[in-house]
Amino acid sequence: MFSTLKEDFKVVFERDPAVRSKLEICFCYPGFHALLMHRAAHALWRRKFYFFGRLISHVSRFLTGIEIHPGAKIGKGFFIDHGMGVVIGETAEIGDNCTLYHGVTLGGTSWAKEKRHPTLGNNVVIGSGAKILGPFTVGDNSKIGSNSVVVKEVPPNSTVVGVPGRIVLSDGAKPESRADLEHGRLPDPEAKAISCLFDQLRALEEKVNRLSGDASGKADDPSAGKAS
């Protein structure tokens, strides 16, 4: 237990530059509190004490603003930054060293009692407000941009942005070891599409101007239209 707590402290110090001390983590980090209570709730859930597992989960939600179903499986090195509004569903599975920012939803799309929530691989980073909906896998080392809505599988080493989420980077190269999500460096597919449209409009405008100039020159030439 103490080795696990030590690892939890280490994760917070690595991924949040605002932290100053372990005491601050113990009293002021809702993601840390939610993770501790989830471990207790999950242990009860696995032993089929479903009501008590849900009760601890509900108290955790009330205290932290983070809702983690006791049935969810969470790996090592998990970190929730800020945390308010995070929702993790019953059949969600989270790998090692994953990072979630506030407002993230790992949600389901089915009412059937089956696997209906996403599975995150290792080293996945999900930006604030992103929604991952459905029983698919987000591959290892992938990043999901803020406010993206992802509804289909994401291959490893990918970056996804937009609504619906689109893969904008997938080069197969492993990212840096530090978990981050530099939104200022993410490609903007909408801006790229608009830029392409403007390029086409400019080309059409030049063509129209050229044709108009040719027609005007012929109109001014008195010999134009006469048979030779």
- Taking residues 195-206, what's their average pLDDT? 81
Q: Cα separation of 128 and 227, whole Å?
A: 73
pLDDT of residue 228: 46
Spatial CA neighbour of 83 closest among 23, 28, 158 = 28
Spatial CA neighbour of 76 closest among 146, 171, 10 = 10
Rounded to the nearest 10°, the torsion over CA 216, 220, 221, 226 is 90
Quick one: fold of 1-190? Answer: UDP N-Acetylglucosamine Acyltransferase; domain 1 (2.160.10)
Residue ranges with strand state E in 124-211: 125-126, 131-133, 137-138, 143-144, 149-150, 158-161, 166-170
The one catalytic residue among 58, 82, 117, 183:
117
State the chain's mean pLDDT as an integer: 86
Q: Cα separation of 162 and 148, whole Å?
A: 5
222, pLDDT greater than 50: yes
Measured in whole angstroms, how far is the alpha carbon of residue 36 from the centre of its chain?
Answer: 23
pLDDT digits (tens, 9 = 90+) for 32-89: 999 999 999 999 999 999 999 999 999 999 999 999 999 999 999 999 998 899 999 9
Is residue 98 within 8 Å of residue 77, measured between CB atoms? Answer: yes
pLDDT of residue 56: 97
User: Is 117 one of the annotated active-site residues of the chain?
Assistant: yes
Residue spans per domain, the chain? 1-190
- Taking residues 91-99, what's their average pLDDT? 95
pLDDT of residue 206: 84
